[in-house]
Structure 1
Amino acid sequence: MWVTVAILVVLITFIWALTGRPRGLPPGPTCYPIIGNFGLIKPSEAVQAHRNLRKKYGDIYTIMIFHKPMVIVHGYDNIRELLVHQGDVFSERPITIGNAVLNKGKGLVGSSGALWKDQRTFALTTLRKFGFGKRCLQTQIMDEVDCLMEELEKLENKPFDIQNILNTSVSNVICSLLFGKRFGYEDAKFKHLIVLLNKLFLTGSASSPVSIFPVLRFLPIFNFNTVKKIFRDVDAFIKGIIDGHRQNFDKSNINDFIDAFLLEQTRKGERDTTFTDDQMIISVREFFAAGTETTSTTLRWALLFLIHHPDWQTILQRDIDGVIGQCQPKMEHKDQLPSVEAFILEVQRHANLTPLAVPHAPKEDFHFKGYMIPKRTFTFFSLDSVMTDPNIFPEPFKFAPERFLNESGKCSGEQKEKLIPFSTGRRICLGEPLAKMELFLFLTRFLQKFRIRSENPRTSSTFGGNAGTYEHIKTF
């Protein structure tokens, strides 16, 4: 009898320990025994679900995945306070399936501590030497843009899906920095790699339960083996390029990121160092993936908005004609084309590609607005709450590029300053300067060369299948 009672007490105590929300955490939905709030949010409905939870629990709330808390932070002021003013505390990453299992703590996106600081400093310094974030890089970008224009002209106004060809073109820009070369549009291995990247972005989610509990990867419902194979195939492609660089390495002739990394390896020798082969492969993969998918997808959204807002397409083409005509666009033209910049900003805001930023984690217990966020807690920052904030962007669900133009027609003001599609703080997206340059140069050239139309003007256009017709309207 007493043994049975003791077992029940222990069992109840155990269940209680795995149930509910620890004291001090922000409020949130009622937790269920053992599972907490597991299953509360469906991936396909995550954005709206977090909007609803915010209405009910406020700007900061907690979701329990089994016994682990996920804190979600909404609102520009809160995000800026934690990521900028408290950036030193919130510059760490939580342990996820990506950084713990797939990347083994290496790379740039998911790493933390001394390794992250060391590698981020090296990456920034190295890429800047090759023009990253500088206007001298625009020549390489424009060479790739014009290669894309030539490919589009070959299609002779026939409807087509632009996704893969645009991904290849955008990817070639980062390839020139990482590999010192570009790939042809018909290169079979490279085309396969682009397809793999598309699959990778469709199958991964930082807020998925398997990301928080890597042990769940053994359950077939999470498709971990598929993700693992994609990582393995992409890494094999990158390793092949690194091997080629190593065979022809000349320390007096450093042409790209891989060369620079190999040079750093020779300087460090066999000492305790973060400059390992695994670190090189993972860093290159992360740059390659991030430098391809986000910019390419933003450009596709821009083309879709041009189709659905022909009045803005006319305005932009008129302004471009008046300022630069058919001359090759340069970054020096950006200030002279505020309408183009405003359009791009509104595309980034309205497309809302990253509703939740990559998770952060405080490196120590942190008290904020009466709550306690424990050390290493998954902390998500809702960029969606900024993009759709009616106090910053009136009528947030309306596509209105003019919101970024002031009375004198310049692109400036609070709305521009508070737009944070690349997140903010110490771990702001490393590729922000390159992405901004690409978006302006690619889109401006598109508008110089083509009129973008729906295949069927009487129906809505989507990104799948034959999304639109790119009508050749001008040549040099």
Structure 2
Amino acid sequence: MTAIFHIFELFDIKSFLLFLSIFLLVFDYIKTKRPKNFPPGPWSLPFIGDLHHIDFKQFHLQCATFAEKYGPLFSIRFFGPRIVIINGHKLVREAYVLQGENFVDRPSLPIFADVLGDKGVVVSNGYAWKQQRRFALHTLRNFGLGKRSLEPSILQECRYLNEAFIDEQGKSFDPQWLINNAVSNIICVLVFGDRFEYSNSEFQSLLKNINEVVYLEGGVWAQLYNMFPWLLRRVPGPHRKIFCLWDEVIAFVRKIIEDHQATYDPSNHRDYIDCFLGEMEKWKDDEAAGFNLENLCFCTMDLFVAGTETTSTTLYWGLLYMIKYPEIQRKVQEEIDHVVGPSRQPSLADRERMPYTDAVIHETQRFGNILPLNVGRSATKDTQVGDYTIPKGTMVAGNLTSVLFDDTEWETPHTFDPGHFLDTEGKFRRREAFLPFSMGKRVCLGEQLAKMELFLFFTSLLQRFSFSAPEGVEPSLDFRLGATHSPQPYRLCAVPR
């Protein structure tokens, strides 16, 4: 002990701090050193990485600049380990489809781990994820996911939404929360077995909380938390709001599950929750599959949030584009009038005879770019992509912005142009680089439902209303970037036709 004290006496405080600084710098360098043949990227600073290069409010746009300088496969470091960004349709498809099994996992990020653990459908991996995804797809299909049997429920919600727009009496209003509620009601019927009135203030508050937490998860405080979880778990700060908001959503879902347990009838499964409760008995000897009450809560929450946020944001963009480009709105209405007429609701059967409207909806998804950097994935093994090696465990992001705006795939990528989805004869044409739902083994589980909702809600609204900006207001396409890419709040006027 005396010897230790003697050693400390040899160092004054300045020497100690200098030694500590050098030690930490060396440790950070070794920990974050680029492996052999790793994708290039900016020269990072110790500890903070490339934070000084990054604007989190428009990072998806900055990626194009990085790709120009470092190539379509580059790496970047926020605070923790380096992340590989994959750019362009060709490379994203190579990674996610041709080598899909190597990029099927989700990365373990502290901010998600502290909310969800490894539960649910979105961030779970391995055996549990495969079982839960399979069960969710099978169950939701039985309740009409992607089938015409679900169409009457969506059409009924379209009527409710139209009535809510009529109640605005042509005055300017922000349509976001009405759209959000309407879209959410479709997944709520499938998962919870019920819908929620637009006047339900508790449910409206919940939807606003979800919207806010999705925004916050894309911000700098979420990234700080992922780098310093051991510190930020113990101190107050803006990051705490993320957990408070999720706690409210989780409490809402738990209450619905408890109500289902109290009224559960094994001979009459009303929705996804009932089916999961019935499945728990079958899988009681296989705990790894995740059929338990705790995982039911997080699987239900995943379906509810994912089934609400992206589709409603797409429709919110769609109405903004209609007031920004009134000539496109008029062409859509002319086609609706010609094919559907004014007396009946549009149906899915009309879609094949409405190529222009279908093209406008697809262009809204492309240009709206709801998930610009996709949802992160993780390499399950060392994998060669392009000219570089991505080591096992590396987080990767297939940059959907680079795919949806790839100038080798789209004629005028930075212009809102329905012609991207029309051939020379005006017929609808599919595009291989149209990937708003991602691709590969983690492709969006609710893709078919979203397509049904987008067509029916959009055509129903355009059939009944002409949309315009408030007098004297020029519509702006300014965006709000969090975990999703959404419009800045705006107001419009909906005048009955």
Shorter-chain TM-score tier? over 0.9
User: In the alignment, residue 94 of structure 1 is paired with which amino acid?
Assistant: P
Question: Residue 115 of structure 1: which of 116, 128, 138 is its match?
Answer: 128
Question: Which structure has more RCO (C-alpha within 8 Å, separation ≥ 6)?
Answer: 2
The Cα shift of 1:15 comes to 4.7
Cα deviation digits, residues 69-97 of structure 1 (max 9, x gap): 11000010111111011111100011112
User: Is 1:307 aligned with 2:323?
Assistant: yes
Tell me the distance in 2 between the aligned counterparts of 1:301 and 1:66: 32
Cα deviation digits, residues 34-58 of structure 1 (max 9, x gap): 3332343121121222111011000
The 8 Å contact of residues 32 and 82 in structure 2, kept in 1 or not, is answered as: no
More displaced, 283-292 or 365-374?
365-374
User: Is 1:404 aligned with 2:421?
Assistant: yes
User: Is 1:453 aligned with 2:468?
Assistant: yes
Partner of 1:374: 391
Matches within 5 A, 1:92-111: 92-111=105-124
Tell me the distance in 2 between the aligned counterparts of 1:156 and 1:432: 34
Q: 1:248 to 1:51 in 2, by over 3 A?
A: same
Partner of 1:389: 406
Tell me the distance in 1 between the aligned counterparts of 2:89 and 2:418: 20
Partner of 1:153: 166
Tell me the distance in 2 between the aligned counterparts of 1:116 and 1:206: 27
**Normalised by the size of structure 1, how large is the TM-score?**
0.93
Partner of 1:469: 493
Cα deviation digits, residues 381-427 of structure 1 (max 9, x gap): 100001111111122111110121002221114xx222101111110
Cα deviation digits, residues 206-255 of structure 1 (max 9, x gap): 99524643446448697321111111111111111111110111111011
Question: Residue 256 of structure 2: which of 233, 241, 250 is its match?
Answer: 241
Question: Residue 417 of structure 1: which of 432, 440, 455 is its match?
Answer: 432
Q: 1:237 to 1:50 in 2, by over 3 A?
A: same
The ranges of structure 1 where at least 4 consecutive aligned residues each deviate by more than 3 angstroms after the TM superposition are: 3-13, 214-222, 461-466
Partner of 1:230: 245
Question: Residue 193 of structure 1: which of 201, 206, 210 is its match?
Answer: 206
The Cα shift of 1:12 comes to 6.3
Tell me the distance in 1 between the aligned counterparts of 2:396 and 2:234: 25
Question: Residue 341 of structure 2: which of 303, 325, 329 is its match?
Answer: 325
Partner of 2:358: 341
User: In the alignment, residue 243 of structure 2 is paired with which amino acid?
Assistant: K
Q: What is the DSSP-based 3-state SS (H/G/I as helix, E as strand, rest coil) of the residue aligned with 2:170?
A: coil
Q: 1:329 to 1:262 in 2, by over 3 A?
A: same
The Cα shift of 1:447 comes to 1.0
The 8 Å contact of residues 56 and 219 in structure 2, kept in 1 or not, is answered as: no
User: Is 1:41 aligned with 2:54?
Assistant: yes
The 8 Å contact of residues 455 and 466 in structure 1, kept in 2 or not, is answered as: no
Tell me the distance in 2 between the aligned counterparts of 1:286 and 1:98: 16
Tell me the distance in 2 between the aligned counterparts of 1:10 and 1:390: 46
Q: 1:385 to 1:271 in 2, by over 3 A?
A: closer
Q: 1:391 to 1:46 in 2, by over 3 A?
A: same
Partner of 2:139: 126
Tell me the distance in 1 between the aligned counterparts of 2:207 and 2:473: 32
Structure 1 unaligned segments of length 5 or more: list them.
none
Q: What is the DSSP-based 3-state SS (H/G/I as helix, E as strand, rest coil) of the residue aligned with 1:68?
A: coil
Matches within 5 A, 1:264-303: 264-269=279-284, 271-272=286-287, 273-303=289-319
User: In the alignment, residue 452 of structure 1 is paired with which amino acid?
Assistant: F
Tell me the distance in 2 between the aligned counterparts of 1:440 and 1:96: 35
More displaced, 313-322 or 453-462?
453-462
Partner of 1:209: 223
Cα deviation digits, residues 345-376 of structure 1 (max 9, x gap): 11111111211010111111112233221111
Structure 2 unaligned segments of length 5 or more: list them.
1-6, 478-486
Q: What is the DSSP-based 3-state SS (H/G/I as helix, E as strand, rest coil) of the residue aligned with 1:72?
A: strand
Matches within 5 A, 1:81-100: 81-100=94-113
User: In the alignment, residue 130 of structure 1 is paired with which amino acid?
Assistant: F
The 8 Å contact of residues 107 and 377 in structure 2, kept in 1 or not, is answered as: yes
Cα deviation digits, residues 101-128 of structure 1 (max 9, x gap): 1101001111111111010000000000
More displaced, 259-268 or 52-61?
259-268
Tell me the distance in 2 between the aligned counterparts of 1:386 and 1:211: 29
Cα deviation digits, residues 1-33 of structure 1 (max 9, x gap): 9x9899698666435414542332111111223
Cα deviation digits, residues 177-214 of structure 1 (max 9, x gap): 00111111111221111111111111112995246434
User: Is 1:57 aligned with 2:81?
Assistant: no
Tell me the distance in 2 between the aligned counterparts of 1:157 and 1:65: 47
Tell me the distance in 1 between the aligned counterparts of 2:476 and 2:86: 34
The 8 Å contact of residues 404 and 411 in structure 1, kept in 2 or not, is answered as: yes
Tell me the distance in 1 between the aligned counterparts of 2:25 and 2:474: 59
Partner of 1:435: 450
The 8 Å contact of residues 349 and 421 in structure 1, kept in 2 or not, is answered as: yes
Cα deviation digits, residues 297-342 of structure 1 (max 9, x gap): 1111111111111111111111111111132211111111011110
Q: 1:220 to 1:395 in 2, by over 3 A?
A: farther
Tell me the distance in 2 between the aligned counterparts of 1:245 and 1:136: 24
Question: Residue 34 of structure 2: which of 11, 17, 21 is its match?
Answer: 21
Partner of 2:481: none
Tell me the distance in 2 between the aligned counterparts of 1:458 and 1:196: 28
Partner of 2:482: none
**Normalised by the size of structure 2, how large is the TM-score?**
0.89
Tell me the distance in 2 between the aligned counterparts of 1:210 and 1:465: 27
Matches within 5 A, 1:138-149: 138-149=151-162
Q: What is the DSSP-based 3-state SS (H/G/I as helix, E as strand, rest coil) of the residue aligned with 1:420?
A: coil
The Cα shift of 1:277 comes to 1.3
The 8 Å contact of residues 91 and 385 in structure 2, kept in 1 or not, is answered as: no
Q: Percent identity?
A: 36
The Cα shift of 1:452 comes to 0.5
Q: 1:84 to 1:443 in 2, by over 3 A?
A: same
More displaced, 48-57 or 201-210?
201-210
Equivalent residue pairs, number: 470
Q: What is the DSSP-based 3-state SS (H/G/I as helix, E as strand, rest coil) of the residue aligned with 1:121?
A: helix
Cα deviation digits, residues 412-456 of structure 1 (max 9, x gap): 14xx22210111111011111111110000010011100001112
The 8 Å contact of residues 94 and 385 in structure 2, kept in 1 or not, is answered as: no
Q: What is the DSSP-based 3-state SS (H/G/I as helix, E as strand, rest coil) of the residue aligned with 1:426?
A: helix
